Amino acid sequence: MITIWNFIVKKNELNCGTFIKAILQDTNASSALFIGNRPPKSQLLKGIPHLYLLEKHLCTGKKFEKLKTKLKHLPDDVYLSFDLDVMDVQAIKTAWDQGTLTIPEIMQCIEIIKQHKNIIGADINGYIGPPDIFPDRSLYLKIANSILLS
């Protein structure tokens, strides 16, 4: 499993953290790679071998080399969970803490994952905001098309 998201887990609340926890518990996930602005909470990962990559390190140095190195430790088949909160506020405004990744960085990240792994499932989540803030559907479509199309 590869998850690109902001790590917030609140008890008894449906959010990205509890969603990922359910996926890890309900599937045959053998390991997880988390890319985000802070490490995931330990209660999320009981019994799941995992790796972590700080989003600000994703594109530094030799572009995406750290991601390529982490991918070597995952099985060939991966599930990709993508949280819009990891993106820069210029890309999308959400009601949660925003990340720093740009649309081109995300597209490159997805392409690298596709080059090295088989994406067998995916989700895009992370927008729950005020009703007056509606994310542009074109961003969802761009990410989904990047994941699904070869």
Domains of the chain and CATH, by start: 2-148 (3.40.800.10)
Looking only at the bridges linking them, the beta strands covering 32-36 and 118-125 are unpaired
Predicted pLDDT at 115 = 93
| Residues 106/4, Cβ–Cβ less than 8 Å | yes
Which helix (H) or strand (E) is 148 found in, with range? helix 137-148
Looking only at the bridges linking them, the beta strands covering 118-125 and 2-4 are unpaired
| Residues 70/51, Cβ–Cβ less than 8 Å | yes
pLDDT higher for 114 or 5? 114
Q: Which residue type, as a one-letter code, is found at position 133? A: I
pLDDT higher for 14 or 145? 145
Average pLDDT, the chain: 75
